[in-house]
Amino acid sequence: MNKLKSVCTALAVALSVTSASAGTTINIQATASAGDWVQNFYEEWADKYNAMTGPDGTKIEVMPFQAVVPYRETLDAVANGILGGDMSAISYFTGRDQLFSIMGDLIAGYDTVDQVQTFCQYGGGKEFMQKVYDETMPGKMHVVGCAAFSREALVSTTPINGLEDLKGLKIRSPEGLASEVFKRAGAAPVALPYSEVFTSLEKGVVDAADASSYINNSAAGLYKIAKYPLYPGIHSMATFQLVLSKDAWDSMSEADQVALDVWFTAMFVSLARASDLEDKRIAAEDTAAGDITIINWAQEDRDGFRAIASEAWEAVAAKSELATEALNTHKAFMKTIGLLD
């Protein structure tokens, strides 16, 4: 019965590029959970793209986290035609190669979202990701772009007032670079998907979590149990990608391809702006209500954490040639904008 149910489910999601009354619809699985603030934003912007391409153009559907396949399987699903595209955190694929960890979130490396977006668009980030897929999944993937939208707020059930307070804490963290940084800082990282953060904090499986933006964490109800968020964040600025199967990309007209490229950039710039405003609004409301204690680390502790992180960059990058190349791509760009000597 379970096998039959799985087959029916697979048939129900149909093909990655499905026929519509006019044009085609490309199904893209994202990282955000159904109903949360970011997923709602994605869906609103999908409507904008569909309006841009007109009645006869390509349409997109942005589906929530694990709507079709588990989050670590989206790349294979795209390559095999089960999904038309993936729009998720690059670091989710660290199990394949540490390059995904380096490209997915250079922990404590960048100061602003705009720096990460510029790296992706003009600093070699997008081109490097295309090279990765050309080498690892030749002829299967087209990279539309990559971008970040938030310097994430670390949520915690206990005060973390500085670097020393990380020691001994159980922290939800993605595999790879983030885990390595927290481990070097004395914490005990635990790999969990975002969808399991709430219950893990509630049950004491973890004390804190590298989760998402302040507004997304608030919308997910995390501050009901984790009342000591670090904001502005100290660590994570996750980078997301939009990749389509080569077949899906080739099925689009040139005009629709250009529209998708422009749409992705515009959406993430808008998402970053909206998220920043919402972060500040909700943080101010939480501060005024007095139930949540927002912690902003001193610059000395931030500098100490970055020093630990930079050592971890090198250690993780040494694990593969592509990871080394990924870090060198970052460093070359960072030197041009004055983040590295």
- 173, pLDDT greater than 90: no
Q: What is the dihedral of CA 222, 226, 230, 235, to 10 degrees?
A: -70
- 274, pLDDT greater than 50: yes
For residue 328, the enclosing domain spans 155-235+291-336
CATH code of residue 247:
3.40.190.170
Mean pLDDT (whole number) for 268-294: 95
Distance CA 20, CA 156 (A): 46
Q: How many domains does the chain have?
A: 2
In a domain, 48, yes or no: yes
Q: How far is CA 150 from CA 7, 90, 293, in A?
A: 38, 15, 20
11 lies in the same domain as 88: yes
pLDDT band at 190 (very low <50, low <70, confident <90, very high): very high
pLDDT at 220: 87
- In tens, the pLDDT along 58-92 reads 999 999 999 999 999 999 999 999 999 999 999 99
- In tens, the pLDDT along 24-50 reads 999 999 998 898 889 999 999 999 999
pLDDT at 235: 85
210 lies in the same domain as 305: yes
76 lies in the same domain as 213: no
126 lies in the same domain as 61: yes
